[in-house]
Amino acid sequence: MLGIAPTNNRWRLADLSELGDCWSLRPLLSHRGSLASNNVVGARDVRVSSVVSDKGMPADQLPRPGPNDRGLAVAGARVIAQETVEAWTAFLAVAGSVDIDAPARVKKTSTRAVITKVGSWPESRQLPEILADARAGSTTLIDQDKIDDRTVAANSHRPKDELIAAVARSRDSLVDWLAGTTPDLPRFEEFALRSAASPLGPLPLITYLHAGAFQLAISARDIEPDFDRIPDSLLTAGLRALVDTTGALASRMEISSDFAVVTPSTSVFTATSQQSWITQNVEASLGREVAGVEGNIGVVLDVGAGRINPLRGIGGRQVSIRNLPALLRLAPIANANPGLPGGPLLRKTASWLAFTNNNSKGSR
């Protein structure tokens, strides 16, 4: 079973206003310390044109969270559980077609290790254990790196068919739970929204399980050199998981915010308030007052996994940021949750702004 993995200011600009309300960053986020672009083999640059404009959907027309809303689960916990199952199936197709002995995209990481981490093994954290923690009310922070390390050490040497079978077991455990064929486990409807322990602290159980789609999407891009062979459905599920998890953490910290990730294929928006949030797909065109990130979906996900340093290539138009001050309302969750997908962007940008402001004051 997989979990969410934790993931020289020598220059400055005189004033943030010089950047205007749209400026570009090279990709955003972090997975297991593989932070900068020089850790990634064959990283690609992709330029995109803006899809955020004055004429796009204004903020007052976007969905607002109700007091009991829990992100994507508003559409039904089974709906996003099924999307998670489909993400597993898509990843299985990718994993089954790659050279198991080839190096992965991240330096010093093997394809074997990437696949092993998401499999179901005695050394990994399985669905029954996750459910047992939820039943007991445990919200202990999970050390996913430690789990991954022991799992890889014990199993990555196994034949390809055993590694693929372990990934299938991870998927099938969720399938069986949804089907109610595991009498020793509590019913899905009773526990889908229960708080569960995760590497990011307590999250609704279905939010935590669905967050695995992000890791699966990144893992697929790590082991498949031809990105065009990765199913679009897997990338879409990964993006939705990225945005929904961010909304969940903002809500947990009682941060009210609006945030969207806009890509040519899929755009996802989350609005958060105290203890609730809503996450939905939205039309691709958004008004410029809506905070967000835009770029090609694969690039945004790569940034989300820390595969490229978020502050490199300003002006490169790989990823564009809109309404930066509003976006930075989310910065506290990055500091409080080191494993947050997207955290490095927020942390580094906030640090850079502080650096810029201090130096601007000193030069006056």
Q: Is residue 246 within 8 Å of residue 237, measured between CB atoms?
A: no
Q: What is the CATH number of the domain that holds 146?
A: 1.20.120.450
Per residue in 192-218, pLDDT (tens digit) is: 999 999 998 999 999 999 999 999 999
Q: What total number of domains does the chain contain?
A: 2
Structural element, H or E, at residue 156: none
- Mean pLDDT over each residue of the chain, to the nearest integer: 79
**Looking at the structure, do residues 53 and 150 belong to the same domain, yes or no?**
no
Helix-strand-coil split of the chain, %, nearest 5? 50, 15, 40
Per residue in 331-341, pLDDT (tens digit) is: 787 777 766 66
Residue 242 falls inside a structural domain: no
**Looking at the structure, do residues 140 and 29 belong to the same domain, yes or no?**
no
- pLDDT band of 296, cuts 50, 70, 90: confident
Which residue segment(s) compose the domain that 336 sits in? 17-65+251-362
pTM of the model: 0.81
**Looking at the structure, do residues 133 and 276 belong to the same domain, yes or no?**
no
**Looking at the structure, do residues 266 and 127 belong to the same domain, yes or no?**
no
pLDDT at 87 (0 to 100): 98
Q: Is the pLDDT of residue 60 over 70?
A: no
**Looking at the structure, do residues 225 and 100 belong to the same domain, yes or no?**
yes
- Please, what is the end-to-end C-alpha distance for the chain in angstroms? 55
pLDDT at 14 (0 to 100): 24
